[in-house]
Structure formats: C-alpha cells, structure tokens
Copies of this chain bind each other. A is one copy, B any other.
Amino acid sequence: MKRRYLMTPGPSPVPSFIREAMSREIMHHRTDEFIEILKETNAGLKVVFCTKNPVITLASSGTGAMEASVCNLFSSGDKVISIVAGKFGERWTEIAKSFGLNVIVMNVAAGSAPSPDELKKLLDANKDTKGVFSTLCETSTATVCDIQGFAALTKERNVLLVTDAISGLGQDVLRTDEWGVDVVVSGSQKGFMLPPGLAFISLSERAQAALKTSNLPKYYFDLKKALKSYEKNDTPYTPAVSLIVGLKDALVAINNDGIENMWARYKKMSIATQEAAKALGLEVFSKRPSSSLTAICAPAGLNAKELVKKMRKEYGISIAAGQGELEEKIFRIAHMGWINEQDLLMCFSVLEKMLKDMGVKIKLGSSVARLQEVIYG
C-alpha cells in the first residue's frame, strides 16, 4: 500500500493522461495518421523551444542528441570551447574529444555559474573557435547558466552556440531565436512529462549550414538526412511511435498553459523551495539556482545520501543525492514537468519530520509556512 512520489530530476512523473495515450494500440509509422501526429509534434516543439527553426525528434536518450550536435556541426580538429560547471558539462567535453575535436575546457567551481566575461576572454584568445558547448541547467549542481550572455558573444562571431537543455527546458527561461542560440538539445523524460526514449534538437540557419561541411562519421544521428525527412513530417528510421503519441498530448498540455506562464510558475516554485530551505536553517548550494530543481546542503554532520535513502524507504518519496564528490553533501529536489506546488508542500512536511527525528534543530511547520507564503502569497 505504500504510495510512491517521484521528485527526482528525470525521469520525472508521467501523468496518467499521457500514459493512457501511450497505451493505445500501436499504429504504423508510414501512415497518414502518424504523419499528422508528427506534423503536430513538430509544430508544438517549435513553440516550446521558442524557435521558428526545425526541431528534430530522435529515438534515443538526450545524450544521443548531444552526440548528434557534435558529429554533425564540426569537423575533426575543429577548436571548440566546452563550458563545464558539473557532470553534464563534462559530458560535452567527453563527446567532443571522442570525435577528435580540439577542446578548450572552461572549468567553473561546482555551484557557480560560468561567466560570459570569462567566455569572452577565451573567445578573444582563440579566434579560430568554431563552437561553444553549454548547459542551460547543470542538473548536478542545480545551477542555471547565463545562456543569453553566451549567445550575445557567439552570435556576433562565427561561432555556433550549442546548449544542453535536457533538464532545463520548460522551466528555465530559454529564448532560443531571440537570444541567438544555434542548437538546443533536450530529452523527453523531464519537462516534457514523458518516459525517457526521445531526444530533441533544434537547428538555427547557421547550424543547418554547418551540416553541409562537417566531415565526422555518422549514420543513425545524421541530421542532414533527418532534416530531409523532417520536411515531410517523416523520420529516416523507425520512430519511437508510442512515445511520440504521448508527446503529442504532452505538447498540447504544455502549450495550453503557455511557456511564459510555465517559466513564471517554476521560478516561483524554485524561490519557494529556496526560502523553505532557509527557513530550516539550510543553505542553498547553487549561487545561481535553476527553476528546474533545487540543491540543498545537508546540515552539518548529516549525510545527504542517507537522508535521501531514508526518505525513499520510509516515505516513498524519491529525491536525489549529489553526484560524484557532492554525493553526501547535497540533496536535490526537482520541480519540473508534472511535479507541482502540492508535491513541494508534502515533501517539506516530511523533510521537517525527518530532520527532527535525525536530531537537527528545526521548528515543525516552519518551512511549510514559508512555502505557503511564497506560493500562495
């Protein structure tokens, strides 16, 4: 009889109306009916991505779309800058190196946001830079990066800006065309409220031009081929039909709420979560907190990993510990996709009780009261 609550940064909960859509009888993908669905999802994705350019859907996890943007836009030996503020920034570096790019790594301390000024220095010192890899929400530290600041630098240079928005899209503000972000990569299992298995990639006109000159090997992730199929609302290889059927309904729900309203709502949830943590005397880990999730430092003497394990075991609530060196130091509560304000109220109610049981001096109700004030006030 134990109920489960998923408040991890992906997979995030899949609402029943989407699970129901995906459980219908399978349809063949080379039919007018499925082409119509792809037409709708292609249009809906543009709205969420804030772009008039194509957004291609791939059957893979988000990492597949990251690889696609490396092997389709660049050629062997190309100089690129990888902005690394945590685990997911490191992935850019790994992929780019796997494909033989010349990678300059811009390292940032965990919890800090990379500064456009520093990127400017690197770009000025490396005039032959072809691309910059960045992360909208660095999930490992719950930090949102200044993509607008990066784009202001890259768009006036001959440099492609590629942004991993796998966990940030839908919650953290990202004005792709307005800011001038060339490539935005995302995945299905976070803001899109779907199971994992789909990846998305938007391509600016500059990015589409770059496809033509890249000399790196590719086949499954060949975006030139994908783009040709996309124009006919088709896919080069068998698409993940059931997930795309779910995507259609997810996009209707998201675009009914409106992306600007969603940004405002998750921002409020993020501030409420930060304030609730402070009300318990806890420190927010990130210096530039994301709207998608909040990382909170464990109180002195308390192991974050143990807290997370205990919460899952005793209360059925899944939140996330830190990753790598941060594993025992921080815990992360997601507020993305289908996770809502009531989930936060429930989660902090339990957190208070647990901290008290574990000997931390807190006043029951204090964080919940602060959440109520920020959310409903």
Contact = CB atoms under 8 A, between A and B. Distances in A.
Nearest to A99: B217
A237 B63 CA distance: 7
Contact of A60 (B10, B64, B241): B64
What's the number of copies of this chain in the assembled complex?
2
A71 interface: yes
A125 interface: no
A60 to B, nearest CB: 5
Contact of A59 (B19, B59, B94): B59
Interface stretch (A21-29, A258-266, A293-301, A349-357): A21-29
Contacts of A99: 217, 219
A242 B243 CA distance: 9
A218 B94 CA distance: 10
Interface in A14-38: 14, 19-20, 22-29, 31
Interface residues of A, number: 54
Nearest to A7: B28
Interface stretch (A43-51, A105-113, A177-185, A189-197): A189-197
A274 interface: no
B60 A219 contact: no
Interface string A232-263: 00000111111100000000000000000000
A238 B59 contact: no
Contacts of A95: 219
A98 interface: yes
A221 B67 CA distance: 10
Given A59-B60, A60-B220, A217-B98, A196 B13 contact: no
Contact of A67 (B31, B196, B219, B243): B219
A222 B63 CA distance: 12
B239 A196 contact: yes
Q: Sort A-B residue pairs by CB-CB distance and give the 3 closest, nearest first.
A: A197-B240, A23-B23, A195-B242
